[in-house]
Homo-oligomer: A and B are copies of this chain.
């Protein structure tokens, strides 16, 4: 498949594909001769994943490159590759350690993890970017004056745990072993918009039920 065909099949302009090649999001095609390169199905798959990450997942190009770097890192085992790829996914704003709201948020998040018995997450808490972004998000709530403590958070956390459990079930049943890392990344990136949309739909529905249209 030539670049122009790749463009046609994916719906991505040749200029943009060239840009992704330049940025290292897409491996170069096999060079057939001086002026022609050959791309295969793998390139198409990867290109679709890249588009999904950038367009649907709103992930910055630089971050996408990093995530894909982990996905492709043959030196790592599957679990580690997945972990490090997810690790690299974009997080929310970083917490401002000067802020007292951040300290309060951190305290509540720690209490939450203790009460949930998420020991593994707790051990990693100092290093995990996800943990930090949770602190930042909770701090934002607190700063605006909304009471928000571990007791309020716990049911949410348990619900999201059920969601995460389903995510992994889905991966186990629907992804072949070889593709599992790529699939997991795609899922992490693509499930979130679905979840968010479902969340808002549910809000609309429940709000309409309670208060009318």
Contacts and interface: CB of A to CB of B under 8 A. Distances in A.
Contacts of A118: 201-202, 205
Interface string A191-213: 11111111111111111111111
A167 B196 CA distance: 14
11 contacts: A48-B143, A52-B143, A55-B140, A56-B140, A124-B204, A155-B166, A159-B162, A160-B201, A164-B202, A164-B207, A168-B207
How big is chain A's contact interface, by range? 35 or more
A71 interface: no
Given A163-B156, A164-B203, A141 B86 contact: no
Nearest to A142: B190
Contacts of A56: 92-93, 136-137, 140
Given A136-B56, A168-B203, A157 B198 contact: yes
A13 interface: no
A131 interface: yes
A133 B191 CA distance: 12
Interface of A: 45, 48-49, 52, 55-56, 58, 79, 82-83, 86, 89, 91-93, 118, 120-121, 124, 128, 130-131, 133-134, 136-138, 140-141, 143-147, 152-153, 155-157, 159-168, 170, 174, 183, 186-188, 190-213
Given A162-B159, A209-B120, A201 B146 contact: no
Nearest to A10: B143
A64 B24 CA distance: 34
Contact of A212 (B79, B89, B208): B79
A55 B200 CA distance: 20
Contact of A194 (B156, B203, B207): B156
B208 A120 contact: yes
A199 B120 CA distance: 15
A163 to B, nearest CB: 6
Given A152-B170, A190-B137, A193-B137, A207 B83 contact: yes
